[in-house]
Amino acid sequence: MTTGAVKCAATANGAGKMNEFASIAPKLGKLLRLLSSNSDGEVVATVRAIQRTLEGDGFDIHALAERIEEANGKRFSEADAHEIYRRGVEDGRRAAVEERRGFRSIDALDEPTWHEIALECAAHENRLFGEREKQFVEDMVRRTVHGGEPTEKQAAWLRKIYSRVRK
């Protein structure tokens, strides 16, 4: 496997350019848009997901930066950078509005986090069975808000509720 530094050096000599990222470009595009989140935890998780995605394909953040700077054989101007930023902010705002309306996943594997699962269950309170289940879901929302994870038994119960409320 070629390391990111080696790929960086190879592309600096003109080989390959942007098409090297073709296999991960759609995923990187989604992840980059998530950087506009107002939640510091989501931003940090997204940065880590970008790093894992790049490393999984043998790249690093420097290789990505070079490809962006050299898109279409030229470097972006300051005006281009401002336009890209403006569009990213707009995309982020749209995503935030959509998130308030419904469920959205930011996990690198496109799977919901435990907190997102708990929030989705809490959003469908009318589908929960009894006060004990409602209390459990509320507790899971609180426990997972900062990245906490349920125990194995709690995870099994939360998954069962989640699959029921999504129907």
Between 75 and 114, the more confident residue is 114
At 64, list the tokens. Answer: 């990505």
pLDDT tens column, 71-100: 666 666 778 778 888 888 888 877 776 666
DSSP string across 73-98: GSPPPHHHHHHHHHHHHHHHHHHHHH
Q: Is the pLDDT of residue 141 over 60?
A: yes
What pLDDT, on a 0 to 100 scale, did the predictor assign at position 157?
94
State which amino acid sits at residue 98. E
What pLDDT, on a 0 to 100 scale, did the predictor assign at position 110?
65
At 143, list the tokens. Answer: 């426990």
DSSP, collapsed to helix, strand or coil, labels residue 70 as coil
Q: Find where tokens 């790093």 sit.
A: 51
- SS percent in the chain: helix, strand, coil, step 5: 70, 0, 30
Percent of the chain at pLDDT above 70? 77
Neighbour-count burial for 84-94, b at 16+ CB within 10 Å, e otherwise: eeeeeeeebee
CA gap 89, 83 in Å, rounded: 10
CA gap 7, 55 in Å, rounded: 11
What pLDDT, on a 0 to 100 scale, did the predictor assign at position 140?
95
DSSP, collapsed to helix, strand or coil, labels residue 52 as helix
Between 123 and 96, the more confident residue is 123
DSSP, collapsed to helix, strand or coil, labels residue 131 as helix
Are the beta carbons of 163 and 117 closer than 8 angstroms?
no
- Positive/negative CA dihedral, 123, 125, 131, 132: negative
pLDDT tens column, 9-54: 444 444 444 467 788 888 888 888 888 888 888 888 988 998 999 9
